[in-house]
Structure 1
Amino acid sequence: MATTASNPSLRLSSRTSHFVLPKQWASMRKAEALERETGKRVIHFEKGDFQGDEFRPAPHIMEACAKAVADGHVRYVPGPGLPELRDAIAEEATKRGRPTVREEVLVTMGAKHALTQSLLTMVDQGDEVIFPNPGYPPDEFWITYAGGSVVYAPLVEPDFHFDLDSLESLITPKTKMLIINSPQRPNGQTVGQLEEIAAICTEHNVMVLTDEIFSHMVYSGAEHKTIAAVEGMADRSILVDTFSKTYIMTGFRIGWCVANKDLITTMDIFQQNSVTNVPAFVQLAALAAITGPQDHVIEITKKLEGKRDRTVAALNKMPGVECPTPDGSFYVFPDIRGTGMTAQQFADYMIENYQVGVVAGSAFGDRGEGHIRLTYACPDDVLDEGLDRIRKGLENL
Structure 2
Amino acid sequence: MQYPFSSSIKHFVSPKQWSSMHIAKELEIKTGKAIIHFEKGDYSGSEFNPPSHIVDAVTNAIKDGYIRYDPGAGLNELRQAIATEMTKCGRQTILDEVLVTAGAKHALQMSLLSFLEQGDEIIFPNPGYPPDEVWARFAGVTIKHVPLTKDTWQIDIEKLNDLISSHTKLIIINTPQRPNGHLIENIDELAKFLQKYPNIIIISDEIFSHITYDDKCHKSISSIPEMKDRTIVIDTFSKTYAMTGFRIGWLVAPKPIIDKLSIFLQESITNVASFIQKAAYEAMIGPQQWVEDKRILLQKKRDRIVNELNSIPGFQCNKPHGTFYCFPNITKTGMNSQELTNYLMENAHVAVVAGTAFGSQGEGYIRLTFALPDDEIDEGIRRIKEYMTLKQTQIQNQ
- Aligned residue for 2:204? 210
**TM-score computed with the length of structure 1 as normaliser:** 0.97
2:189 corresponds to which of 192, 196, 202: 196
Sequence identity percentage? 52
Q: Deviation per CA, 1:318-375: give whole Å up to 9, x if none.
A: 1100000001100000000000101000110011111110000000000001100000
Question: Secondary structure of the equivalent of 1:269?
Answer: helix
User: Structure 2 matches for 1:1-397, cutoff 5 A?
Assistant: 7-8=1-2, 10-204=3-197, 205-397=199-391
Question: Unaligned stretches of 5+ in structure 1?
Answer: 1-6
Cα distance in structure 2, aligned partners of 1:321 and 1:387: 12
- State the shift of 1:202 in Å: 2.4
- More deviation in 244-253 or 219-228? 219-228
Counterpart contact for 2:50–2:242, Cα < 8 Å: yes
Counterpart contact for 1:194–1:230, Cα < 8 Å: no
**TM-score computed with the length of structure 2 as normaliser:** 0.97
Counterpart contact for 1:201–1:207, Cα < 8 Å: no
Cα distance in structure 1, aligned partners of 2:100 and 2:31: 42
The residue type paired with residue 233 of structure 2 is L
Cα distance in structure 2, aligned partners of 1:95 and 1:177: 26
Counterpart contact for 1:131–1:180, Cα < 8 Å: yes
CA RMSD of the aligned region, Å? 0.8
The residue type paired with residue 347 of structure 2 is N
Question: Unaligned stretches of 5+ in structure 2?
Answer: 392-398
The residue type paired with residue 248 of structure 1 is A
Cα distance in structure 1, aligned partners of 2:122 and 2:345: 35
Q: Deviation per CA, 1:99-124: give whole Å up to 9, x if none.
A: 01111000000111111111111111
Question: Secondary structure of the equivalent of 1:208?
Answer: strand
Return the structure number with greater helix share. Answer: 2
Counterpart contact for 1:129–1:178, Cα < 8 Å: yes
Q: How many pairs were matched up?
A: 390
Cα distance in structure 2, aligned partners of 1:338 and 1:59: 46
Counterpart contact for 2:150–2:361, Cα < 8 Å: no
Counterpart contact for 1:201–1:208, Cα < 8 Å: no
Cα distance in structure 1, aligned partners of 2:293 and 2:71: 34
- State the shift of 1:200 in Å: 2.6
The residue type paired with residue 69 of structure 2 is Y
The residue type paired with residue 114 of structure 2 is T
Cα distance in structure 2, aligned partners of 1:260 and 1:90: 12
- More deviation in 300-309 or 160-169? 160-169
- State the shift of 1:234 in Å: 1.1
